C-alpha cells in the first residue's frame, strides 16, 4: 500500500469495511515516520532561517552608527564608519552652527581651517591574512618602521610619551616622566597627544588615565569645565578637545561620548557614561581587527547598547592617544608600565608594549658622595689639549742621564734618596735597605738650636753655682 493511500485513509477516518487493507499497527507506524520527517525538515529550516537572519543583522548593523548619533549630526546618514565621513553639506553645517555661541563658532571654524591646512595622515587599515603577497611590493611604513619597532623593543612602554605642540604657550601644560600631564590652562581648550600611534601588532590595545587632581582641589567639575580623553588621527588641532573634529573620538568628563562632532548631541549620548570625579580611572580600548572602540570607568567596561553599541568599523592605520582639558588638572597616563585597573586588560596583556624594554637603565648616582675617586681628592692638571703619558712623566722626574731630579718646590719632605741607578732599572732589590733619613726643616732646626741654647745656659748656670760654692768653702 502506497504512502499516499495511507494519508487518504487517515483523512477519511480509516479504511472501509469491505477493504481488506493493512491493520492498525501498519497505519500507526506510517504516521510516526511522517511526523518524524516533518519535524526534521522543520528543524533544518529553522537553522537556515537563524543563520540567514544573523548574517543580515551583522551586514546591516556592524558598520552603522546609531540613529541617535545620526540625528545629532543634523540627519546626516553615516552608514560606513570606516570612511570616517563628516558633515560636508554647508547648509547642514550652517544650521548647526546657529546652535553654538559666537565663541564656539569661532573655535570651530579655526579647527576646520587647521585640519585643511594640516591634513592628518589617513590610511585605511586592511589587515592581510593570507600572507601571500610579494614582500618586494610592500610600501615601507612611514611611521611604524624598523627603527620605530627597535626603539619600542628597547624602551618598552616608555616609548610612548606625550609632547605638547610648540605653538601652545609654555605655561599651558607641563609633561613630567613622559606621561604625567599637568594642565595649567583656564577657560580655553588645549590637547596633547602621544608621539607614537597604536602599533597594531596585537588584536587589542588599551590605556588608562587617572584623574589625580581637579581645578582648585575640587572633587567634581562644573558644566563649563571639561576634560576629554580618547583617540585621534595626527595632526589634530591642539587648541581643541578631542572628539570635536575629523577622525577623533573621546569620552568627555560630563559623561558624553563624542565622535567627529562639535555640535550638541542627543540626550542619550550626552549622559551615556558616568561623569568624571577626582581619583577616577578612565580606560580606552581599541580592537584592531574590527575597528571597535570601547571605554571603561574605574575598571568596569561601560555599556553602550542604548545608543547602538560600541563604535565599530573605525579602521584607521594611525590612531594616537590624546588628552585635552580646558581647566587646570593633573592626569597620569598608563600605557602598560603599571598594572591596569581593568582586570581583563591585565590578564590578556593589552598594554601598548612590554612594561620594560631590553635597554638597561642608567646607573644610579644616589650615593655619589661615597665615590672612591672623589674621596681621593685627585685633580688632573692636564688641559683639554694635552694628556699625561708615561713618557712625559719620566721626562719630568729624570734628567738626560736618567738620574732622578730633585723634587719640585713645595715638597719639603722627600722620601727619595739620591740614586745612581737609572729609573728604568729600579727594582724591589735595588731599593735601599736602610730607612730613609729625614732632613729637619728650618723650623725644626731653629727649635733644635733653641733647645741646645737652653741646655747650654742650664749647664753654665750649674757650673757657676758650683764655682760659687767652692769659693765659699
Q: What CATH number does the domain containing 185 carry?
A: 2.60.120.920
Range 1-30 average pLDDT? 56
Residue 40 in this model has a pLDDT that exceeds 60: yes
Question: Is residue 39 domain-resident?
Answer: no
pLDDT of residue 92: 74
Question: Is residue 270 domain-resident?
Answer: yes
Range 221-240 average pLDDT? 93
For the stretch 382-434, pLDDT in tens is 444 444 444 444 555 666 776 767 666 655 544 445 555 555 566 666 666 66
Indicate the number of domains in the chain: 1
List the alpha helices (DSSP H) in 118-260.
Answer: 146-155
Residue 327 in this model has a pLDDT that exceeds 80: yes
pLDDT of residue 344: 94
- 269: containing domain: 102-126+162-348
Question: Is residue 274 domain-resident?
Answer: yes
Model-level pTM greater than 0.85? no
Residue 105 in this model has a pLDDT that exceeds 80: yes
pLDDT of residue 389: 47
Question: Is residue 243 domain-resident?
Answer: yes
Task: Compute φ and ψ for 320, nearest 5 degrees.
Answer: -115, 140
Range 352-358 average pLDDT? 87
pLDDT band with cut points at 50, 70 and 90 for residue 54: confident
Cβ neighbourhood burial of 336 (10 Å; 0-12, 13-18, 19+): buried
Range 325-351 average pLDDT? 94
DSSP secondary structure, 397-430, as one string: HB-TTSPBPPPPTT--S-------S-GGG--STT
CA separation for the pair 296, 303 (Å, rounded) = 9
pLDDT of residue 403: 72
pLDDT band with cut points at 50, 70 and 90 for residue 317: confident
pLDDT band with cut points at 50, 70 and 90 for residue 63: very low
CA separation for the pair 189, 210 (Å, rounded) = 19
Is the Cα torsion angle 380, 381, 384, 388 positive or negative in sign? negative
Residue 308 in this model has a pLDDT that exceeds 50: yes
Q: Which of 181-190, 384-393, 458-467 has the highest mean pLDDT?
A: 181-190
For the stretch 114-135, pLDDT in tens is 999 998 887 766 665 544 444 4
174 versus 5: which is more confidently predicted? Answer: 174
pLDDT of residue 424: 57
Question: Is residue 297 domain-resident?
Answer: yes
The mean of the pLDDT values for the chain is: 77
Q: Residues of 214-245 as b/e, b for ≥16 C-beta within 10 angstroms?
A: bbeeeeebeeebbbbbbbbbbbbbbbbbbbbb
For the stretch 136-170, pLDDT in tens is 445 677 888 889 999 999 999 999 999 999 999 88
257 DSSP assignment: E
Q: Which of 99-113, 292-306, 310-324, 374-388 has the lowest mean pLDDT?
A: 374-388
**Nine-digit cell at 85?**
565621513
CA separation for the pair 261, 68 (Å, rounded) = 13
Question: Is residue 31 domain-resident?
Answer: no
What percent helix, strand, coil does the chain show, rounded to 5? 35, 15, 50
pLDDT of residue 227: 95
Range 281-295 average pLDDT? 95
CA separation for the pair 163, 195 (Å, rounded) = 6
CA separation for the pair 374, 154 (Å, rounded) = 33
Residue 328: other Cβ atoms inside 10 A? 16
CA separation for the pair 260, 293 (Å, rounded) = 14
Lay out the sheet containing 292-297: strands in order across. Answer: 173-176, 180-183, 329-334, 204-213, 281-287, 292-297, 300-301
Amino acid at each position: 500500500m502506497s504512502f499516499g493511500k495511507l494519508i487518504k485513509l487517515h483523512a477519511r477516518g480509516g479504511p472501509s469495511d469491505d477493504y481488506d487493507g493493512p491493520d492498525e499497527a501498519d497505519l500507526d507506524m506510517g504516521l510516526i515516520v511522517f511526523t518524524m520527517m516533518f519535524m526534521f525538515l522543520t528543524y533544518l529550516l529553522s537553522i537556515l532561517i537563524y543563520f540567514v537572519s544573523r548574517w543580515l543583522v551583522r551586514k546591516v548593523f556592524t558598520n552603522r552608527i546609531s540613529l541617535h548619533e545620526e540625528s545629532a549630526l543634523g540627519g546626516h546618514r553615516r552608514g560606513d564608519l570606516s570612511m570616517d565621513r563628516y558633515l560636508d553639506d554647508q547648509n547642514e553645517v550652517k544650521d548647526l552652527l546657529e546652535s553654538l555661541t559666537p565663541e564656539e563658532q569661532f573655535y570651530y571654524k579655526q579647527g576646520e581651517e587647521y585640519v585643511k591646512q594640516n591634513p592628518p595622515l589617513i590610511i585605511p587599515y586592511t589587515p592581510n591574512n593570507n600572507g601571500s603577497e610579494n614582500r618586494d611590493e610592500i610600501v615601507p611604513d612611514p611611521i611604524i618602521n624598523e627603527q620605530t619597532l627597535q626603539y619600542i623593543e628597547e624602551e618598552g612602554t616608555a616609548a610612548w610619551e606625550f609632547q605638547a605642540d610648540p605653538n601652545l604657550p609654555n605655561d599651558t601644560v607641563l609633561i613630567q616622566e613622559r606621561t604625567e600631564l599637568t594642565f595649567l590652562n583656564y577657560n580655553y581648550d588645549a590637547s596633547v597627544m602621544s608621539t607614537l600611534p597604536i602599533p597594531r601588532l596585537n588584536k587589542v590595545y588599551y590605556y588608562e588615565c587617572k584623574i589625580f587632581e581637579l581645578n582648585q582641589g575640587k572633587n567634581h567639575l562644573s558644566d563649563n569645565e571639561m576634560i576629554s580623553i580618547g583617540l585621534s588621527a595626527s595632526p589634530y588641532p591642539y587648541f581643541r578637545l578631542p572628539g570635536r573634529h575629523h577622525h577623533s573620538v573621546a569620552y568627555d568628563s560630563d559623561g558624553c561620548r563624542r565622535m567627529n562632532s562639535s555640535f550638541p548631541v542627543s540626550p542619550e549620548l550626552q549622559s551615556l557614561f558616568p561623569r568624571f570625579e577626582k581619583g577616577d580611572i578612565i580606560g580606552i580600548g581599541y580592537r584592531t581587527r574590527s575597528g571597535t572602540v570601547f571605554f571603561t570607568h574605574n575598571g568596569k567596561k561601560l555599556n553602550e547598547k542604548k545608543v547602538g553599541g560600541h563604535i565599530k568599523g573605525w579602521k584607521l592605520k594611525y590612531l594616537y592617544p590624546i588628552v585635552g582639558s580646558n581647566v587646570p588638572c593633573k592626569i597620569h597616563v598608563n600605557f602598560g608600565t603599571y598594572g591596569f585597573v581593568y582586570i581583563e586588560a591585565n590578564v590578556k596583556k593589552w598594554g601598548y608594549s612590554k612594561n620594560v624594554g631590553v635597554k638597561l637603565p642608567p646607573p644610579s648616582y644616589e650615593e655619589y658622595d661615597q665615590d672612591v675617586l672623589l674621596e681621593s681628592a685627585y685633580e688632573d692638571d692636564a688641559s683639554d689639549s694635552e694628556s699625561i703619558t708615561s713618557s712625559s712623566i719620566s721626562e719630568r722626574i729624570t734628567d738626560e742621564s736618567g738620574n732622578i731630579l730633585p723634587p719640585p718646590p713645595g715638597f719639603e719632605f722627600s722620601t727619595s734618596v739620591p740614586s745612581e741607578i737609572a729609573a728604568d732599572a729600579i727594582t724591589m732589590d735595588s731599593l735601599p735597605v736602610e730607612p730613609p733619613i729625614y732632613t729637619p726643616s728650618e723650623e725644626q732646626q731653629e727649635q733644635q738650636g733653641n733647645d741646645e741654647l737652653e741646655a747650654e745656659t742650664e749647664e753654665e748656670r750649674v757650673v757657676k753655682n758650683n764655682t760659687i760654692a767652692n769659693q765659699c768653702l
